Amino acid sequence: MIATLAGILTHKQPPWLVMDVHGVGYELEAPMSTFYDLPEVGRDVRLYTHYAQREGGVALYGFMTLPERRVFRDVQKVSGIGAKIALAVLSGVSVDDFARLVQAGDVSALTRIPGIGKKIAERMVVELRDRAVEFAGIDSVTGTGLVVADPLSEATTALQQLGYKPVDAQRMAKAACSQGDTPETIIRKALQSALR
């Protein structure tokens, strides 16, 4: 499997780019989130890759960060979703925004991403909610699993795991959150408010 490529960017025309790696030109398909951060043609670039065999050939996908590649792979684990929709997700929203929308169960916002209808958005929420907090929790430089979620997001996720609906959990956490609160403090205050 090809995990990364480092070489000279020789061509970029969304959704395709070509990298010269020691005389071998690799053609990769990439989301717009990656294209926004690519250097000028002729400059060095390093991309995380995903190699896929599919009907009619093979495909190589390129990503500027590990979280982008993680979302690309996880989105395709949702039944009925392939590479085309996974690329559309990354072209339509940032990794952080996608994680937030999935955690909040915001089907309406997800359907605004081209190629995503209501049923697919609902499946994404159901099948990816537990993993969404981890999407942005991968350090894009070292690749280590550092969870960087803010206290409000962590508290919201915890309230959802306690059985509250995403919308209710988000509302409760926001109402209980004060500057400098830890996730535990927000959760405690939210639960106390719910019991009143």
Where in the chain does DSSP place strands (E)? 4-13, 16-21, 24-29, 44-54, 57-63
Check for a shared fold between 4-63 and 151-195.
no
What does the pLDDT read at residue 146?
A: 36
When pLDDT is cut at 50, 70 and 90, the band that residue 12 belongs to is: very high
Query: What would the two tokens of residue 115 be?
Result: 């190629």
What does the pLDDT read at residue 136?
A: 59
CATH 2.40.50.140 applies to domain 4-63: yes
Exposure string (b/e) for 158-181, b if CB count within 10 Å is 16 or more?
Answer: bbbeeebebeebbebbeebbeeeb
Question: 148 pLDDT exceeds 70?
Answer: no
Architecture of domain 66-135: Orthogonal Bundle (1.10)
Domain extents for the chain?
4-63, 66-135, 151-195
- Of 1.10.260.40, 3.30.230.10, 1.20.1510.10, 1.10.8.10, which CATH number belongs to 151-195? 1.10.8.10
What does the pLDDT read at residue 9?
A: 97
When pLDDT is cut at 50, 70 and 90, the band that residue 144 belongs to is: very low
The sign of the dihedral angle between the CA atoms of 185, 187, 189, 192 is negative
Question: 141 pLDDT exceeds 60?
Answer: no
Distances (CA, A) of 73 to 16, 70, 77, 83: 19, 5, 7, 8
Q: 1 or 36: whose pLDDT is higher?
A: 36
Q: 29 or 151: whose pLDDT is higher?
A: 29
Q: Which tens digit of pLDDT belongs to each residue from 31-71?
A: 998 988 999 999 999 999 999 987 788 999 999 999 999 99
What does the pLDDT read at residue 145?
A: 39
What does the pLDDT read at residue 149?
A: 52
Single pTM value for the model:
0.67
Least confident stretch, 16-20, 41-45, 90-94? 90-94
Q: Which of 14, 32, 106 is nearest to 72 (CA)?
A: 32
Query: What would the two tokens of residue 23 be?
Result: 């005389």
Q: Which tens digit of pLDDT belongs to each residue from 162-182?
A: 777 888 888 888 899 888 888
